[in-house]
Amino acid sequence: MSPIVSWLWLVPALPLAAAAVLCFLPDRLRRFALPLAGGAMGLGFLLSCAALSEAARSPSAAGVHNFLWLEFGGSPLMLGWILDPLSAAMLAMVTFVGFWIFVFSAGYMAHDPHYVRFFCFLSLFASAMLGVVMANSLLLLFMCWEVMGLASYLLIGFWFHKPSAAAAAKKAFITTRIGDIGFLLGMVWLYGESGTLLFYDQGAGCLETSAIARMAGHAAGAGMMASTGISLLLFAGAVGKSGQIPLHVWLPDAMEGPTPVSALIHAATMVAAGVFLMARVYPIASALPPPPPVAQVASVASAPNAATPDAPAPAASHPSSLPSSSHEASVSAPTSVRSTPLPALCLRVMAWVGALTALFAALTAVAQTDIKRILAYSTVSQLGFMFLGLATGGVAVGMFHLLTHAFFKALLFLGAGSVIHGCHDEQDIRAMGGLRRWMPTTFVAYAIGMMALAGVPLFFSGFWSKDEILHAAALWSPSKWPFIIGVAAAFLTAFYMTRQMVYVYAGEYRGAGRGADGGGSMDPHESPSLMTIPLGALAACAILLSVLGTPVWPWFHAFLSGHAPRFEPSISLGVLVVMFLSVVLTAGGIGLGLSIYARAPSASLADEDPLEAWRPGLWQILRNRFYIDELYESSFIAWHAALGRFSAWLDDKVLGAAVESVRLAALGLAWAARLCDEFAVNLGFDEACDCLRQAAGRISRFHDGQAQRYLRFLALALSALAFWILWK
């Protein structure tokens, strides 16, 4: 184990320390906020680069560092971190993108009174994300995952004085919590099945072959294996975090946060954590039940026997412990038993959810007018692509799209932030237009991001990663529909990005006179260099990253799979067909967008969209996001409100009545006690006292202080005594 592994904890610890210091930094020292937070991220990036080179040197040997956290009775609770190609690539991406977004934020948030707080939250978030990425324990991953959720909540609601932002923060938090319940249950189940939450622990971890074989062989009821149930529950958590159907509703609303937050959290990194989680637990998700012995075909009861060491499952017999290689084993080996084995159930669910989300979100994005909302739906759609790639093509396919998407989506969001900043906080694309002349740097960077997202061939990273996903989906055996849906979504992606580009950058500026006060120049302006330099850096990456994943030299694929990359000059026919198809799609989408929007650019704000004029009904549905929010509003939320009202009624009328009756009983008892006290005890006592007092008064009349009267009594008594003595 190289020294870099034992020092890897510094990568998340540095931003955490920065967040802690920023907590206490007074506002007058705000100029130190960026050096502190950005410096921590920069150092983290350097460390991650070292880790990446280490992982690239020996990609098949994962470096693991476990430590004891707690001990419950006799069972130790271990946490740990891991350096494998997956975590190394993610660490480098998160620190790099994060660093540039921090720099951009310094420009974007320069005038915000809560500048220091913003950097504090950003650092906290970055620390949690890095913790998720390098965690070697599902528990540690979950803890960082939740901290990330908290940071997301804090940052979406950063401008909490806006009711919409506060509501969006709440919505995001609650919606993701719904998925997290699944995550938590899956984690508990996983612990029950494997007895450990460590991923890799020298053969004893829960992602290693023996545990996987045990879980895949253990029937959990309803025709499912334990591994299927666990991975489906974990997938629920990923669905919540990554904004997939049906928990996608929070992500577009999360755009209420400051734009750098949208770029960092709700486009590049945090929402990708769900995809990363599924990539991390891919061995569980893809585990197939061991093939039953020939004599007992279709006998479920024989499955546990088949998992014994005498008849090891094909997936379990593979010596490697790396996720992607065990995946390959599980996909390739069963073919010898059955001719067309179905992939694991979880993967099939993932593929369908991903494909449907990709199409649904792309359709919705077509009809939005808020620049950030379009990008948000585009993010949802691309996350769907990632899940599709993960499910059909394996870890490398999904993760490559995750990485390329992180760069170009961060670029697009920062570009949108620059546009919003330049247009005086205007977010409606109908009120922009012609910005190409006003903001040339932003335009170039944005165009690069847009072409990467749309999948313009050859030079842009998005083309290669999306192409890989489509290719994998095309080869998927259970169904061709995810592929067809993905193709449609890819076409729509090119179309809505073209629409946005035309609206924002072409034609004449339509926002004049929309400013509130009109004092000073309301013309758009180019952003300061603090904001354009990050755009340039990310744009360069959006282009350069494409060399890592071409079919000719699939370095990234090989890196994640743990073998040396090979140069393959000859591309198979299937790849070429899909590539040609995606070029046609992109060209078609962009061409259609241009022909609809660029031929007659709308001249004023009130112009209706050409699509609206063409099909008003369809447009309304798309514009209102398929009424999903309204559906939830009228179903789940209404049910919960009804349940709440019922509970309130129950509380008020039933429980309240019970409490009230107890109160009344106590009150009555107290009255009775009081009456008894007042009329029985007190009266008797008073009477006795009065008697005593009157008696005393009568007696005291004799004692009137007249000494001579006393003496008279004395003399009387004396004479009586004398008579008595004399006459006795």
Partner 1 sequence: MTSLQGFLVLSALLFCVGLGAVLTRRNVILALIGVELMLNAANLNFIAFARLGPHPNAMEGWMFVVFSIAVAAAEAAVGLALVIAIYRRLRTAHLDQMDSLKG
Which residues make up the interface to partner 1 (CB under 8 A)? 700, 703-708, 711-712, 715
Q: Is the separation of the CB atoms in 557 and 463 below 8 Å?
A: no
HSE of 142, CA atoms in CB hemisphere, 13 A: 21
Identify the bridge partners of residue 515 per DSSP, sorted by sequence position. Answer: none
Instruction: Name the DSSP class of 391.
Output: H
Residue that the structure tokens 């005890």 belong to: 681
Of 669 and 715, CB closest to partner 1: 715
Of 648 and 711, CB closest to partner 1: 711
Q: Which amino acid is at 498?
A: T
Nearest approach in angstroms of CB 715 to partner 1 is: 6
Of 221 and 705, CB closest to partner 1: 705
CA distances from 465 to 149, 270, 494, 528, 721 (A): 28, 19, 15, 32, 136
Exposed/middle/buried for residue 689 (C-beta within 10 Å: 0-12, 13-18, 19+): exposed
Q: Is the separation of the CB atoms in 282 and 324 below 8 Å?
A: yes
Nearest approach in angstroms of CB 699 to partner 1 is: 8
Q: Is the separation of the CB atoms in 382 and 453 below 8 Å?
A: yes
Instruction: Name the DSSP class of 598.
Output: I
Of 72 and 702, CB closest to partner 1: 702
Distance CA 72, CA 93 (A): 37
Nearest approach in angstroms of CB 722 to partner 1 is: 10
Locate 233 and state its tokens: 């529950």
Nearest approach in angstroms of CB 663 to partner 1 is: 53
Locate 727 and state its tokens: 């006459």
Of 298 and 707, CB closest to partner 1: 707
| Contacts (Cβ under 8 Å, ≥6 apart) of 384 | 244, 245, 353, 354, 355, 356, 357, 358, 359, 360, 361, 489
Of 664 and 692, CB closest to partner 1: 692
Nearest approach in angstroms of CB 694 to partner 1 is: 14
Of 28 and 698, CB closest to partner 1: 698
Of 567 and 724, CB closest to partner 1: 724
Nearest approach in angstroms of CB 682 to partner 1 is: 28
CA distances from 454 to 122, 410, 467, 494 (A): 29, 15, 11, 4
Of 298 and 699, CB closest to partner 1: 699
Locate 315 and state its tokens: 């997936």
Nearest approach in angstroms of CB 724 to partner 1 is: 17
Pairing of strands 63-72, 219-221: unpaired
Q: How far is CA 303 from the centre of its chain?
A: 36
Locate 711 and state its tokens: 């003496």
Distance CA 713, CA 715 (A): 5
Nearest approach in angstroms of CB 696 to partner 1 is: 9
Return the exposure string of 493-525: e unless at least 16 CB atoms fall within 10 Å of the residue's CB, then b.
bbbbbbbbbbbbbbbebbbeeebeeeeeebebe
Of 337 and 711, CB closest to partner 1: 711
Of 31 and 698, CB closest to partner 1: 698
Nearest approach in angstroms of CB 688 to partner 1 is: 21
Nearest approach in angstroms of CB 690 to partner 1 is: 18
What phi and psi values does residue 337 have, to the nearest 5 degrees?
A: -90, -50
Instruction: Name the DSSP class of 77.
Output: E
Of 666 and 711, CB closest to partner 1: 711
Of 691 and 718, CB closest to partner 1: 718
Nearest approach in angstroms of CB 687 to partner 1 is: 23
Distance CA 145, CA 532 (A): 31
Distance CA 460, CA 453 (A): 8
Looking only at Cα atoms, what is the longest distance across the chain? Answer: 161
Of 636 and 713, CB closest to partner 1: 713
Nearest approach in angstroms of CB 723 to partner 1 is: 14
CA–CA–CA angle 579, 582, 585 (5° rounding): 155
Q: Is the separation of the CB atoms in 298 and 292 below 8 Å?
A: yes
Instruction: Name the DSSP class of 268.
Output: I
Nearest approach in angstroms of CB 714 to partner 1 is: 9
Nearest approach in angstroms of CB 705 to partner 1 is: 3
Residue that the structure tokens 């922009």 belong to: 432
Of 544 and 718, CB closest to partner 1: 718
Exposed/middle/buried for residue 542 (C-beta within 10 Å: 0-12, 13-18, 19+): buried
Of 26 and 705, CB closest to partner 1: 705
Q: How far is CA 597 from the centre of its chain?
A: 35
Q: Torsion angle, CA of 447/453/455/457, rounded to 10 degrees?
A: 40
Do you know the residue count of the chain? Answer: 728
